[in-house]
Structure 1
Amino acid sequence: MSRLLFWLALICLVGFAIRSKIREAQKRQQQYHQPPQGTAGGASPAAGAARQQATAEAETMLQCAHCGVFYPASETVQARGRDYCSAAHAAMPSA
């Protein structure tokens, strides 16, 4: 009889643990899919200002005419009317 009670208790504990994990996953999923509430995309006004500042500081990206890599516009090397990621690529003859 004690073995039966042990197995029943073990099954109940495993069942409760599984239910707990499922509920936790559902809450996380609801929070992930739920649109933020409040100002500035659901964040505080300070976070909204920080997001706007980061957007204002974002730099234009250009693509190297030789290798195709994207790089910040401030690092461009121009030659023959094209943009290159490095002086080495700018110096290479175009094919």
Structure 2
Amino acid sequence: MTRILFWLALVFLVIAAIRSKLRKMSGPQQGGPAPAPQQPRAADPQQAEKMLQCAQCGVHFPASENVPANGRDYCCAAHAPH
């Protein structure tokens, strides 16, 4: 009987700990501490520049730095075929 009570208490504590962790992750509730001010976003997604992938090395880079060659995109002139 003691073992059953021990296991029930252990299960209850684990469930309580998980619920507490989930509650903290979901954000502050009513009556909780005030949320920290959010930092302004660097750029609006509509203003973000398109990213391309280099055909040689696979690195992603801004479209403004594109070195096109043979219909493919390269991150620098060294990777573009001559």
TM class by smaller structure = 0.5 to 0.7
1:5-45 deviation digits (Å, cap 9, x = unpaired): xxx1111111101100000001111111225853xxx33x6
Structure with the greater alpha carbon radius of gyration: 1
Task: Flag structure 2 segments of 5+ consecutive residues without an equivalent.
Answer: 43-48
Higher relative CO (Cα under 8 Å, sequence separation at least 6) belongs to 2
Q: Does 1:23 align with 2:16?
A: yes
- State the TM-score, normalizing by the size of structure 2: 0.53
Aligned residues: percent identity?
A: 22
Whole-Å separation in 2 of the counterparts to 1:63 and 1:35: 39
Gapped regions of structure 1 (runs ≥ 5)? 1-7
Please give the residue correspondences for 1:35-74 in structure 2 after superposition, counting only pairs within 5 Å.
35=28, 38=34, 42-43=35-36, 51-52=39-40, 56=42, 62-64=51-53, 66=55, 69=58, 71-73=60-62
Aligned partners of 1:64 and 1:71 also within 8 Å: yes
Q: What TM-score, normalized to structure 1?
A: 0.47
Q: Give the structure with the higher percent helix.
A: 1
